[in-house]
Amino acid sequence: MKTMIKTIPALACAMWLLAGGHAWAQEPAAPDQLPVCQLDPRDSGKLAVEPCRPAPPVQPRRSVAQVIGRMPVQRAAPPVVPMAPLPPSPAMPIPRAPQPIGACDTGGCRDAAGARYNGAGNATLDANGRICHRNGAFMQCF
């Protein structure tokens, strides 16, 4: 039993050394020994050979001094030129509510109150010359 207890750690150490040596044997080849990466001519989404190394640069990289420019000077805002207030503008007429159309002919339509809308199609003019729009059975002037 005592010899068995002594041999178990020795066997464990030997197995550990063999496993470690096996793992080192499976390491990938040095990058210089790998082929340069190229696309598979039959399938452009895959590499022709894996593993591979990137292609060497066409020209060696050169260092360039980093240039950090200064922000432009903030100029003062231009002076505000005082302007006279504008005269009050005439009040804009508010469009009336749509009026139901009574009857139409080739020259225009009449609403239920008898007002005439001259024109053809959806665009007409009322008696005051305002543009009116026909929407189905209703007429609204703007």
Binned average pLDDT, 10 residues per bin, the chain of 142 residues: 58 58 53 83 88 83 86 84 86 81 88 89 88 90 86
- C-alpha count within 13 angstroms, C-beta hemisphere, residue 74: 1
Q: 7: domain range?
A: 2-28
Query: Quick check: is 124 in a domain?
Result: yes
Task: Look at residue 26 in the predicted model and tell me its pLDDT.
Answer: 53
Query: Quick check: is 80 in a domain?
Result: no
CB 39 within 8 A of CB 47: yes
Beta strand 131-135 pairing with 138-141: antiparallel
Query: Quick check: is 92 in a domain?
Result: no
* Domain total of the chain: 2
Task: Look at residue 28 in the predicted model and tell me its pLDDT.
Answer: 56
Query: Quick check: is 16 in a domain?
Result: yes
Report field, pTM of the whole predicted structure over 0.75: no
Task: Look at residue 8 in the predicted model and tell me its pLDDT.
Answer: 65
